[in-house]
Structure 1
């Protein structure tokens, strides 16, 4: 008895049992259910062994007598209530044990059924989830197809819109050109009517000087007066009359980069570029045509209001210079905007200047012609060396200024710009830049006034200009010899082209032998001028 008790104390079973309980308490939340059950069973087995040893000691003590010497009945009555209902060795009957086992089996069966139903419902949910995922993938694929179709339709609509806008711009440009041509033709018809009257008056004067009645010269049939322009028809502003905004330039640059790409193998800045050479030749030819046709039309227009040939020549020359100045300023601003837009999205082996010039070559019509004409008119108004009668403005030269501004813009848009050389009255005559006019003093070395500017490219002269040279400097305002004796100017009326013939007093052939040849020479010169102008308009 004493030896068994000492051995139980030496083993320290209760200390081991306490350590296992503390370890189970620490690891309870980290362990699984099976691990917790295994730990509990291990502790219960250890406790059962300790209780077995204690019951052996209790039996030995009861057999030896003492406090518990009352026997086994006293032990059962005092210790069995302390063991509790959870102890599996609690002295249950066989029937109670069987019922407990049956209940446990039923619970296991129910748990199995619940587990199977849960697994079945989980499989069904997984199947439904897979089906929903497949449907989601199909919907996503349809969305991608729809998005691609929408992008394709938006690109197609943008292209159609751009093409339609280009067609509208071309139609408006053609309409503007047609209206300008119509106005120019109306002006020519009016000038032709004036020439018809001049020819009739000249024939009458020639008949009087030759001593023949004017009735022998039947009057030519006069053209019907041109119909007045409709006042109620609104004029649609063309792209050249509407200001070009930065947004339009940005959109145009984007579309240019999208549809044109980078420049070709030959640089647009090269002087051997065939596009640049062809455009330069065309512009030079148009400049020569403007000297031979448009300049004469502008002179005839000015002669209706002020019959001073030198002053009118100065006005036409200044108008050409102002048109070039306005076009250069407008082109410089336009090129700066294009460069700033291309600087954002430019990339590739070509330089930025090549990309800018390539865009300008493809969009030579993006300019505000109306604004350039107004700038040129303001420049003419500020020139104090020019003169027009009160009430007459330089807007009478609007067709001529439109043509010159258009021409100057094209020359400024070249890779190597072409410019009009600026000349000053009283400067030394330069034979490399100018040719003398028919009424010049060919021995004079100073320029009296300029008639037409020279066309230069850098230091090279492409087209010579025309200047009038006089001895003794230049005069601020003078009249031509053939028009200095016009009586209509003396009376203060606004001189027209027909005043040179109708206002002259005819003289008989015997009125003076000294003055008759000069009068005939003046009439012959005027008749030649009128016939030349008439042949130009009739052609």
Structure 2
């Protein structure tokens, strides 16, 4: 009995039972119903094992006291308790096995507690890390919100700055256009001033020349009125000077060659420059070439008309004081040759541009003007005006779109159909001296050339 009691004491069964009761009491409202039932059954099994061991000790103790020892105690204490219909089942295992099981159960409970403690520690660490992560996340969210606010502020400032910059750019562009317009106005005024100065210089030269001529004429008049008999025979015996060539006649061949060369230069230089300028605004090469051709033709028409008017004024001026061996016509031409700078070429340029503005065969963008090719028009007018002073004036050949191609007057352009008999449009006019072709023109030929009314 002493050994059995010692083993029961060493196992601390009641302490284990009390610990299990405390643990179940703490976890009762947390765990599920099945787990509560399992805990209760486990406690009942443990209580039954302890009761079995106590009954064994009770049996051994009663046996040690003799046959009748402890009868009163059993009657007064044990029998009333057994009368409550409690029955104790004899354990199917031995006391040693029961104690070993109790020890295993205690060891398992200890391990479970250690694992539970470790789990709780891990949970606390994880909760701590989770809290730290949440704090970092909140900090990152706050930084993102601040960055978003700064970005929105930067966007608004950038938009405001961009609008201000666009307004400044528009204002600067307007100022630049105004400055360009003022520069153009100043250039025109400067050109006009240069023309005025050149005209003043020419007028001064002309006045000087006329003064010299007047002095010479007065000297001749004084000599003609002189009563010296020596002058009369010499005058009567002098040959007729009407056949003496004038300055215009002496330089006719050289001026002819120079003007023909200048007309070729117009085709090779000024025409290409004007074509490059027009191609910036007009994509159609055909329309560009038509504009240049019509500009040259109109320049010759206006220049010839200006020459006739200028010649009439010169003849009218010289008719009152002219005398000498040359005719009035030759004197007028000689005066024009020596004073070509008196030709008002700007007026002719304006007349050509006005004529082109009403020409139905060409079109031009509304944002620009034919003044763009005024250099070509001015040079063509000067060449045409000077060609009228030749002994046999040079003129352009008559040309019309849709006419039969004439190989003696024109050469075909590179993009022509070389077997086509009709001219679709002219690129450059032919230069004529009477019926003779001096410089060939250029035309584009197609098999089906349009007919213009």
TM-score, structure 1 normalization:
0.42
Bigger radius of gyration among the two? 2
TM-score (norm 2): 0.49
